[in-house]
Structure 1
Amino acid sequence: MSAGHTNNEDALAGTTVLVVGGAKNIGREIARRSADAGAKVVVGARSMESANDAAAQIDNARGIAIDVTDEASIAAAAAELRSVDHVVVTAAAHHNVPVAELEHDKVVTAFEAKVIGPLLLAKHFAPIMPATGSFLLFSGVAAWKPSAGLSIMGITNGAVSFAASNLAVELAPIRVNAISPGIIDSGTWDSMPADDRKAFFDGVAEGNPVRRTGTLDDIADAALWLLSAGFVSGETVHVEGGARQV
């Protein structure tokens, strides 16, 4: 191995990784994989019970209450933790309706979850992070493939990408990046009847160049790389099988 080269496991070993939204689906998988790579993991969720339940299933993990729509809870978590190396935020609050049916408060909540919350996490956590630390935000393919009825999802996800590039400059040398997932078999769709879910995933696969649906491993692999990629900042990494190209 050449001097100065590290792999994901080397880079995360002994660090503290906070995953806001780590109690379920993509967030939980990133938390688990970070722990497997030797990190101390903090699972953040609105419910302390949910955070603790998820943390109990992950080695070297603990839970903490964080509601990205409540700045006081973010400030309290930062004061309690005192030091973290990486912050991952997967929170979202969807409001997928036609523009004619938009509700003001739900639009605001969507922006709070995706954009304002991460900004406030940066406000309170950047001061307790080392120069080698990073933030990892979550955008989404809807920003690059506009669709009727998904305007709020598309707009907020697009804003996340701009948040990453702007925060990368302001918080430097702390790195800030984003992942933009496509349709991922993450557990989000498990409530659908099995036949409907299969038909949905088959349609997704037919509609992207790699001809399959994304997996939790696809996202976790990208996340761990970005947490450890010390010369990457301000980027949005698209993990969606090329879906935005077609």
Structure 2
Amino acid sequence: MSQRTALVVGGTSGIGLATARLLQARGATVHITGRGKERLDALADTDPGLVGHRADAGNPEEMSALAEAIGGVDWLVLAAAGSEGPGPVADLDLTMLRRAFEAKFWPHITTIQAVLPHLAPDGSITLLSAITARAGMPGTAGIAALNGAVEAMVRPLAAELAPIRVNAVSPGLVDTPWWSGLPEDAKRAYFAQMADVLPVRHVASAQEIAEVVALTATNPNLTGAVFETDGGARLVPLG
């Protein structure tokens, strides 16, 4: 099989970066995007095998130019995410929620449209959702709607774009920079509390989720599905 090309949008940290590293280790040429120059510059030193691009996934002109420059993509992974969205519905900041949709949902649509003309006929699109779309945790109605909107695209896109495959991965609690807003002591205490509740008895690493993302991206028999990798969080009360 000839060498494959992957594009990981939001590939400069967390699950996106772990996925990019995994696909690159398996022999793919991997392009990553991010909006921050400092992070891309740092990765040029630590991960010279990854091809970094400074691009805004919500900007159709930038993403179209990037896809044109790459020339052809086999596996598109959309790991763009934001840090906003949670909150009790009674006082949920709707301006903040709109920003959350702008940071995650619209970049998914923009990037799919931009890359689609350059996607291989036997290629794949993998979206990143989250457990909030499938659980009933108090204080997550806004972010649940956001991740639910991402998941709702999977089946119609899989039917519309076939034989291109479309899937999503739905993680639960994952130790990534998404939690960087919490003081380190508070984060450790919360993770320990959650580990006692989760059936797998630990909080997932980005690498664990990346293994599922890589599987959905590369396995030629998977399409139209949302793969839950939440450590059993959906089986226990978390609220």
Fold agreement, TM-score > 0.5: yes
Matching residue within 155, 166, 179 for 2:156: 166
1:59 deviates by 4.3
State the alpha-carbon separation in 1 of the partners of residues 46 and 40 from structure 2: 10
Match of 1:60 in 2: 49
Alpha-carbon contact 2:76-2:217 (below 8 Å) kept: no
State the partner residue of 1:217.
Answer: 207
Does the 8 Å CA contact 1:56/1:62 hold for their aligned counterparts? no
Q: Which has the higher contact order (CA 8 A, sep 6+)?
A: 2
Q: Distance in 2 between matches of 1:110 and 1:210?
A: 30
Q: Which residue of 2 aligns with 1:188?
A: 178
Find runs of 4+ consecutive structure 1 residues off by over 4 angstroms: none
Partner of 1:200: 190
Structure 1 vs Structure 2 CA RMSD: 2.0
Residue segments in structure 2 that go unaligned for 5+ positions in a row = none
Find out whether 1:33 has 2:27 as its counterpart. no
| CA-CA distance at 1:183 after TM superposition | 0.6
Letter of the 2:81 partner, please give it: A
Contact 1:29–1:220 (8 Å) recurs in 2: yes
Match of 1:231 among 207, 221, 237: 221
Distance 1:107 1:242 in 2: 27
How many angstroms apart in 2 are the aligned matches of 1:19 and 1:55?
15
Q: Distance in 2 between matches of 1:187 and 1:242?
A: 22
TM-score (norm 2): 0.89
**1:78/1:221 CA distance change after superposition, 3 Å:** same
Q: TM-score, normalised by structure 1?
A: 0.87
8 Å CA contact retained: 1:24, 1:54: no
Q: State percent identity of aligned pairs.
A: 33
Deviations 1:11-42 (A, max 9, x none): 7x721111111111111111111111111111
Gaps of 5+ in 1: 1-10
